[in-house]
A and B are shown apart, each in its own frame.
Chain A
Amino acid sequence: MNEKRFHKRSIFLVLYILFALLPIYWMINMSFKTNEEILSSFSFFPQQLTWANYARIFTDESWYSGYINSLIYVAINTVISLTVALPAAYAFSRYSFLGDKHVFFWLLTNRMTPPAVFLLPFFQLYTTVGLMDTHLGVALAHLLFNVPLAVWILEGFMSGIPREIDETAYIDGYSFPRFFVTIFLPLIKAGVGVAAFFCFMFSWVELLLARTLTSVNAKPIVATMTRTVSASGMDWATLAAAGVLTIVPGAIVIWFVRHYIAKGFAMGRV
């Protein structure tokens, strides 16, 4: 019976992976075609394979600098988000204090503002404080939705750890910082991995704020991509190639955090 069940799960998994990969395959397929070929015929493989779309991105500074800018502000954002969210999530999961539930929920409400009208005040605020068109500016703006997410995810994982572990450590004479770094952090590795990945991902794909707050120096790749839509029509092939390249950094990130996600909670170590 066990065997059969395992079989069913595998079939489901394979089907899902197929469903997940086909659009991505189509994007890769498109990225090796010319625009004429994309629009003229249906084919599983590029008939005249071309590297021109990728060459355009790697040789044009206005294209590849977009990737560099995005990576810089996404990295700043992820580091700040996790650094401030870790202690806060610990506070929420371990103590009650005045207004804790309200603050916890308020944090998440910051993800609920429909962006269209909020962009203008954002522009004005960041111009006033002189952060327009800087990597730090975009990173700070993205904290608005990443910090609450990181706090919520980490709090969930921390609450899964029995409080006895903290108490034992304090009795053993551990100071709070030492306990937190050497005992507690390893226990919630999975949570940190997931939170880091989600911070990276949401900041990486965010378009509206990033486009509003930058012009040249910090222009992100998502904004550069909108260039492929022009009066003379869509540049499907270049967009597809750029899209393929946007997956690469994130795939590397998830490859690095995969162990933290998959390993989870190792009770035996405590």
Chain B
Amino acid sequence: MNATNKPINQKAWWLVLPVLVCVAFSAIVPLMTVVNYSVQDIISPERRVFVGTEWFAAVMRDDELLEALGRQLGFSLSVLLVEIPLGIALALSMPAKGWKSSAVLVVVALSLLIPWNVVVTIWQIYGRTDIGLFGHALASMGIEYNYTGSATDAWLTVLVMDVWHWTPLVALLCFAGLRSIPDAYYQAARIDGASKFAVFRYIQLPKMRGVLMIAVLLRFMDSFMIYTEPFVLTGGGPGNATTFLSQYLTQKAVGQFDLGPAAAFSLIYFLIILLFCFVLYNWMQRVGTQQVEVEQ
């Protein structure tokens, strides 16, 4: 959404209202309930003590949490650095017309449609050196690979799995964005004798800005909340190598049956994601607008 002198019209609120009703129905009550938990010590449903910001302070002092946060940031950044360029490259090389285009589109989308718990269970077998194709292939190339034993292997496996699973999301968004560029732009570029790179840099990339922004934000927030994949594949191990933030949260919430601190943790978690997304969003907005100014 950019602010290029759109007419002011307060009646537009009526068009937005249905969305607000639908989302607020499921958003506000649970969020307020969690806020309510986070300031209480819930000993039993009948016995609750108001503790103010004590849980928040305790969570902020938790060293293990900070470590999990660090691992999480490293993982999410790696996800973005691999998946966004790969997704763009894939979208650029997908055929635009004919049956090939349809076939490639369907094939690329397949991995998105498998429920997450199934994805990991399949990769559990797929990555084993004795009975799985991926592990077997690596082993026969002479690479020592063991995702349950080695921290690096476990981390990389979760990353490769995420790349396999989610790059199509970036690619599909970019592909649709590319397809909505009018032919006239390409014709103009051809007349100007623009190179392939110039076409990408000055036509395709700016036109994909909207979808890329969605792709970056979605991949960031979803990878920041990754839970099922490391939990099923490695259980967070070996050691703590793949214990990301949400798994640490679940350990706290389920393991210690303590709603108060877990709720405070969730809220801080939520605020961290919010902060990063806000920064990313504003940064991408600014980069985009500057570009428009340069072009004009």
* Alpha-carbon distance between A52 and B68 when the two chains are bound, in angstroms: 43
Q: Are B22 and A41 in contact (CB under 8 A)?
A: no
**A45: shortest Cβ distance to chain B, in Å?**
12
A144 CB contact (under 8 Å) in B23, B214, B246 = B23
Q: Which residues of B contact A (CB under 8 A)?
A: 1-3, 6-13, 15-16, 18-20, 22-23, 25-27, 29-31, 33-34, 37, 86, 89-90, 92-94, 96-97, 101-102, 104-118, 121-123, 125-126, 130-134, 136, 164, 168-169, 172-173, 175-184, 196, 207, 210-211, 213-214, 217-218, 221-222, 225, 227-228, 245-246, 249-250, 253-254, 259, 262-263, 265-266, 269-270, 273-274, 277-278, 281
Q: Is the interface of B mostly helix, strand, loop or mixed?
A: helix
Q: Are A236 and B121 in contact (CB under 8 A)?
A: yes
**A202: shortest Cβ distance to chain B, in Å?**
9
**B275: shortest Cβ distance to chain A, in Å?**
10
Top-5 shortest CB links A-B = A156-B210, A264-B179, A250-B113, A121-B33, A91-B15
A117 CB contact (under 8 Å) in B10, B22, B181, B262 = B262
Q: Are B1 and A261 in contact (CB under 8 A)?
A: no
* Alpha-carbon distance between A255 and B101 when the two chains are bound, in angstroms: 11
* Alpha-carbon distance between A109 and B83 when the two chains are bound, in angstroms: 22
Q: Which residues of A contact B (CB under 8 A)?
A: 5, 9-10, 12-13, 16-17, 19-27, 30, 38-42, 44, 80, 83-85, 87-88, 90-98, 100-101, 103-105, 107-118, 120-122, 124-125, 140-141, 143-144, 147-149, 151-153, 155-157, 159-160, 190-191, 193-194, 197-198, 201, 204-205, 207, 221-222, 225-226, 234, 236, 239-240, 242-243, 246-247, 249-251, 254-255, 258-259, 261-265, 267
Q: Can you list 19 contacts pairing A with B, beta carbon distance less than 8 Å?
A: A9-B92, A9-B93, A12-B93, A20-B108, A25-B133, A26-B125, A42-B136, A88-B18, A97-B10, A109-B277, A143-B25, A157-B176, A157-B210, A159-B210, A190-B176, A191-B180, A197-B172, A205-B114, A243-B114
* Alpha-carbon distance between A234 and B15 when the two chains are bound, in angstroms: 49
A-B contacts, CB under 8 A, total: 311
In the complex, the chain B residue whose C-beta lies closest to that of A70 is B115
> In the complex, what residues of A have CB within 8 A of residue B179's CB?
190, 261-265
A39 CB contact (under 8 Å) in B131, B214, B217, B250 = B131
In the complex, the chain A residue whose C-beta lies closest to that of B221 is A112
**B133: shortest Cβ distance to chain A, in Å?**
5
Instruction: Choose among A13, A21, A80, A265 the residue with the greatest number of B CB atoms under 10 Å from its CB.
Output: A13
A258 CB contact (under 8 Å) in B105, B114, B132, B259 = B105
